[in-house]
Structure 1
Amino acid sequence: MSQPARNPLRRLIGPGTTRLGPAEIAVSLAGALVGIAAVHAVSTAILGPEAALFMVASMGAAAVLLFGVPHGALSQPWPAIGGQVISAAVGVTAATWIPDPALAAGVAVGGAIAAMQIARCIHPPGGATALIAVIGGAEVHALGYGYIVAPVLLNTLILFTIAVAANYPFVWRRYPIGLAPPAQDPPAAPLGHNDLTEAVRDLHVVVDITPDELDALARRAVARAAEDEGGTLPVGRRRVEAEAGEGLTIRKRHGEGEEAGGRVTLNVVEGDDGGDSRS
């Protein structure tokens, strides 16, 4: 399975995100518009207009994930809610116990990242939420640990609720991903690099993984499944068999009949730069 040639510039800057249609863009725009307007109103009522600007900025980053990448792992309820709450708690603690603002800011963001990693709820806007607890000014500091509940948790729940409502009418982009109907997988077939890229595009979603990583993930999953099943992976009425040798040969069979389709051999060879390359 050969990889398509790529020019050096594209390899340097990386691939773009999935191309979306006008309907997807309109839903994301409308949801974020309503969500951020609500967050601004709540934050202003709790913190005042100046401090509210910090909180709206943090929630703006969250809105990108919930409305722009609703199926992303970092957008799901536990990262979206747990990440914000945990980060807020770390930020308030740093602001309370560390008098030096620069050190407190570093501890708040670094501690929030570590805490989210431990709790398996990484949510990038959480870093901003933790930082705001330190640099948000007197209005934020006066809230103490109340900052965790209002405005952080309250604003997060507002965005979450609007994201659920805005995405629900569209079966293919329901949020959270658990509300989406089970996928009807098509029959298995040999996969190519372009097949994976086009499949993601057909789903009308943005995924936070590059096509190359997705390709490698699919290869690894088939290989490991074949190992776990003694060399055979059932796929509907078919079986995918893997043979280990100098490379990994994958064949498809229907039941006990003759080999169907073709075969794909994955070889690991020494690249020009001394690293591995796969074909």
Structure 2
Amino acid sequence: MSDTPHQHPASLIPQAVLGPLGWLRGSFGAGFAILAAGLATSALMPGLPPGLPFLIAPLGASAVLVFAVPASPVAQPWSVVGGNLLSATIGLMLGALIGHPLMAAGLAVGAAIAAMTFARCLHPPGGACALLCALGAAGPEQWSLVHLVPIAANVLALALFGWAYNNLTGHRWPHVVAPVPPAPARAAATHTREDIAATLATWEELLDVDVDDLDAFYRAVNERVAARRDG
């Protein structure tokens, strides 16, 4: 096992860039998902009060996760739907209750993180949803809970399209970890950073983790196994 300091930027390590989960697949999926969400929400607008948004900006960040890193825990359906809607509700309620945009925004984002964590639906764009809704409710626009209707339509349309597109293009979503058969008994093996990079280059999944973090994790696991073996 080499002790050479790591000087390889993770951005130089291709992770199945041209594979079935590559940039082209993610780009098409995200683009069409935003279009589908906008069309679905616009179809609801005639029966709603004027001035409601037919697309919200945090949806773009959710699309990046759903279509570019669909194996990430924060990109799973419950995280996308629950995280965004829970955070939006918190933002709207605190914005209306507090009335001060800055104070409401800060409290909404903090409360949204806590709520998503306890509800097991942590989703980074949820913080943006909480911020957007808190500012809208505390500002001159006076957003109310009726704004949850277009937000819900956005999020549900994105999740539905993500489910169909990901599965049709060869990726099971919600993500399912492929079972790995147990390795045959053999002498303890070691790895190098290059081994991890080479494996990632052929792995048909974009992992939301840095190569050096993986290397450090494997080294820690190897040390724990060695300590247990040595008593």
For the aligned pair, the TM-score class normalised by the smaller chain equals 0.7 to 0.9
Q: 1:139 to 1:43 in 2, by over 3 A?
A: farther
Which residue is equivalent to 1:81?
Answer: 81
Which residue is equivalent to 1:243?
Answer: 230
SS at match of 1:56: coil
Identity %: 32
Letter matched to residue 28 of structure 2? A
Letter matched to residue 56 of structure 2? V
With a CA cutoff of 8 Å and minimum separation of 6, indicate the structure with the bigger relative contact order: 2
Distance in 1 separating the partners of 2:165 and 2:14 = 20
Please give the per-residue CA displacement for 1:120-142, whole angstroms capped at 9, x wherever unaligned.
32211101111221233789745
Contact 1:4 1:193 in 2 (8 A): no
Which residue is equivalent to 2:162?
Answer: 163
Distance in 1 separating the partners of 2:66 and 2:32 = 13
Which ranges in structure 2 are unaligned for 5 or more consecutive residues? none
Which residue is equivalent to 2:27?
Answer: 29
Which residue is equivalent to 1:239?
Answer: none
Contact 1:92 1:134 in 2 (8 A): yes
TM-score after normalising by structure 2 = 0.79
Matching of residues 227-242 of structure 1 within 5 Å: 231=228, 242=229
Please give the per-residue CA displacement for 1:213-260, whole angstroms capped at 9, x wherever unaligned.
212222333454676xxx3xxxxxxxxxx326xxxxxxxxxxxxxxxx
How many pairs align? Answer: 221
Which residue is equivalent to 1:199?
Answer: 199
User: Aligned Cα RMSD in Å?
Assistant: 3.1
Which residue is equivalent to 1:211?
Answer: 211
Distance in 2 separating the partners of 1:158 and 1:216 = 39
TM-score after normalising by structure 1 = 0.67
Matching of residues 47-126 of structure 1 within 5 Å: 51-52=52-53, 55-126=55-126
> Which has a greater percent of helix?
2
**Pairwise CA distance, 1:21:** 0.8
Please give the per-residue CA displacement for 1:133-187, whole angstroms capped at 9, x wherever unaligned.
1233789745x33434x2233322211121122121344x332212x64345666
Q: 1:117 to 1:38 in 2, by over 3 A?
A: same
Which ranges in structure 1 are unaligned for 5 or more consecutive residues? 232-241, 245-279
Contact 1:27 1:167 in 2 (8 A): no
SS at match of 1:61: helix
Instruction: Say if 2:179 is the partner of 1:182.
Output: yes
Asked which structure has the greater CA Rg, the reply is: 1
Distance in 2 separating the partners of 1:216 and 1:87 = 34
Letter matched to residue 105 of structure 2? A
Q: 1:136 to 1:162 in 2, by over 3 A?
A: same
Q: 1:140 to 1:61 in 2, by over 3 A?
A: farther
Distance in 2 separating the partners of 1:135 and 1:66 = 26
Q: 1:131 to 1:183 in 2, by over 3 A?
A: same
Report the more deviating stretch, 21-30 or 122-131: 21-30
Contact 1:168 1:175 in 2 (8 A): yes
Distance in 2 separating the partners of 1:50 and 1:145 = 14
Please give the per-residue CA displacement for 1:33-81, whole angstroms capped at 9, x wherever unaligned.
211002222444447897527x431101100000000111211122222
SS at match of 2:168: coil
Distance in 1 separating the partners of 2:180 and 2:142 = 47
Contact 1:79 1:120 in 2 (8 A): yes
Distance in 1 separating the partners of 2:49 and 2:145 = 18
Instruction: Say if 2:15 is the partner of 1:15.
Output: no
Distance in 2 separating the partners of 1:84 and 1:52 = 15
